[in-house]
Structure 1
């Protein structure tokens, strides 16, 4: 039996559309074991109406892609999912399925692929590296998907920097979030994002958190997606007032994320109190950055191959 622990991620960080992501200390657990025949997928009751329990399941699809890659297919599988990452909230639930499924599959059949090969296979399946990459290796990652590999840099952020996460009770499917984006951008908008992305990464690397409110600005996706988040302007202005070092839409949304470097519980309490006046229910969490990423916590292959 193989058991992996895979973190949530926040991606599209500010101007870092499809390239900049970060792992968070909120984890899903995936257990996989080989059985004599068939496919069994065990899902928590609360998630059964959202997650397929057949061959369309994303964890299974991710495992199958790796089995196909190396031409090694177990006779049967039992997959048990323990989910803590909210679904379709922009916190990398799909990337956790891909990263966790591929890693579990690789462990189950004797690790035929290297970590670099899994990173590429996962990024290719997801379409971009900004979620699967930090899920696999942790920290803040900058990644570029090439034809046959992913080039990336991992940055371990200081422990004082914590992540304020506002998770609403409504969904925003990634497919819909993609469909509303423009097909092209003005030249000046591209320059705007490039300058902010450089400022953002360098500021995080040098602990220059005063730059973050400007460095997190974006003209590629946030202007188009923010209208689907009720009270966006009021909420984000309050986050800065309460002490957040900046804010951004997490992934495709609708969760909102802010950076904190002090007064963590004070900021959280003020945020909870402010959000309570709206009809939408918001869960507010303070999470650490997961600098270690995915962890294999059990890897015992059966001596018998069915």
Structure 2
């Protein structure tokens, strides 16, 4: 059997609104079984998620070639829906990997990046799931570019996932239509320095800069009240690097491995409604293992 594994993505990292994304070790897995007369998608997500050709993974695969042979699919996922961890992006990428493999058993990651970005609309969400690690993206007329940024290897993501969902449309609606020039200058200066901090290996500077956003987090904080609570808690422990993951409501704190357990214990002590966990950065991106008969 063939298995496609796609990691979660945590977009923005504060300053990198719509251009930075980080792959985290929560995974969607699709196991491709035998050929069938019609698509069969076995999953544990309930009646709201289709189990036939209308499933998002199958729909996306059939965009590659509508005539690909149906198969049985077994889908599992650690990525919660509508929490700012790229659940739909991972499904799109899984579908494209599936479609291209069934057509000619080849995977061109750049081609899939272009297709996934066109479908999802935000390259920063799909680039990490395809390529892994921390990706800086831009969308030009000629296509999407993604550049892997070096990230200190001892950083982990202490992640709080609230019990409630937050739709991207609602989070987008909270943003202002225009920004003052001073705010735009602040954002561009600090984002440039964040990228430089990655290349210089300046871990302390990087984690401080993650918290310098002025264009989306201040407007979304009320939609995810745990965000500022956790940032203040981390500061009380002498830790920086807390940001709102994607559109929220998940909160991520990038910290050194040796500080992760302390922060996790402190977050659990707040008795918030949700789940706190420590996630590693996923460096490989989406993978294919096994084969089809």
Residue 156 of structure 2 corresponds to residue 162 of structure 1: yes
What CA deviation, in whole Å up to 9, does each residue of 1:192-247 have, x standing for no partner? 21112112222133232222224432122211211111244333211222243321
Q: Give TM-score scaled by structure 2 length.
A: 0.92
Match of 1:85, SS state, is coil
Give the Cα–Cα distance (whole angstroms) in 1 for the partners of residues 30 and 21 of structure 2. Answer: 22
Question: What is aligned with 1:129?
Answer: 123
Question: What is aligned with 1:286?
Answer: 278
Question: What is aligned with 1:265?
Answer: 261
Give the Cα–Cα distance (whole angstroms) in 1 for the partners of residues 219 and 14 of structure 2. Answer: 13
Question: What is aligned with 1:83?
Answer: 77
Give the Cα–Cα distance (whole angstroms) in 2 for the partners of residues 111 and 148 of structure 1. Answer: 26
Match of 2:124, SS state, is coil
Cα 1:231–1:5 change in 2 (3 A) is closer
Report deviation, 1:178: 1.9
Tell whether the 8 Å contact from 2:149 to 2:195 is kept in structure 1 after alignment.
no
Tell whether the 8 Å contact from 1:157 to 1:289 is kept in structure 2 after alignment.
no
Moved more, 150-159 or 118-127: 150-159
Moved more, 212-221 or 24-33: 212-221
Cα 1:50–1:202 change in 2 (3 A) is farther
Tell whether the 8 Å contact from 1:28 to 1:96 is kept in structure 2 after alignment.
yes
Question: What is aligned with 1:120?
Answer: 114
Tell whether the 8 Å contact from 1:193 to 1:219 is kept in structure 2 after alignment.
yes
After TM superposition, the runs of 4+ consecutive aligned structure 1 residues lying more than 4 A away are: none
Q: Give TM-score scaled by structure 1 length.
A: 0.88
Equivalent runs, 1:1-306 vs 2, <5 Å: 1-33=1-33, 35-44=35-44, 47-67=45-65, 73-111=67-105, 114-211=108-205, 212-261=207-256, 262-273=258-269, 275-276=270-271, 278=272, 281-300=273-292, 302=293
Contiguous gaps of at least 5 residues in structure 1: none
Report the count of equivalent residues. Answer: 291
Give the Cα–Cα distance (whole angstroms) in 1 for the partners of residues 30 and 36 of structure 2. Answer: 20
Contiguous gaps of at least 5 residues in structure 2: none
Match of 2:119, SS state, is helix
